[in-house]
Amino acid sequence: MFVVSLTYTAPLSDVDALLDAHVAWLKQAYADGAFLASGRKVPREGGVILARGERAALEARLARDPFARGGVARYDIIEFVPGMTAAGLESLKEA
């Protein structure tokens, strides 16, 4: 599993110009089962994505994000193995 931290590298006006395309890209990743959660950082300096799958596939997917293609965000990927979860999230644990 992965935590992806996006950091904006351009003014918010540039980010907002790509926001609709970014949301469409997110929706496709959810439909594909690759993303589990996502949202804005507070303050609005970027975002966070909780993802699953293979790292190479995630990196390829991130490269297709309109924010990446538009040069408005940097991505930091943290891989982790969930060993404990809150009730109801047990399916996230890996053996």
Q: What is the pLDDT of residues 12-55, one digit of tens each?
A: 999 999 999 999 999 999 999 999 999 999 999 999 999 999 99
**3 state SS of 65:** coil
Collapse the DSSP code of 72 into the 3-class scheme (helix H, G, I; strand E, B; otherwise coil) and give the result. Answer: coil
Among left, alpha and beta (phi > 0; psi -120 to 50; other), residue 15 is alpha
Q: Cα(7)–Cα(75) distance, rounded to whole angstroms?
A: 7
3-state SS class at 12: helix
Rounded Cα distance between 29 and 46, Å, is 18
Q: Which helix (H) or strand (E) holds 21?
A: helix 19-31
Which pTM does this prediction carry?
0.92
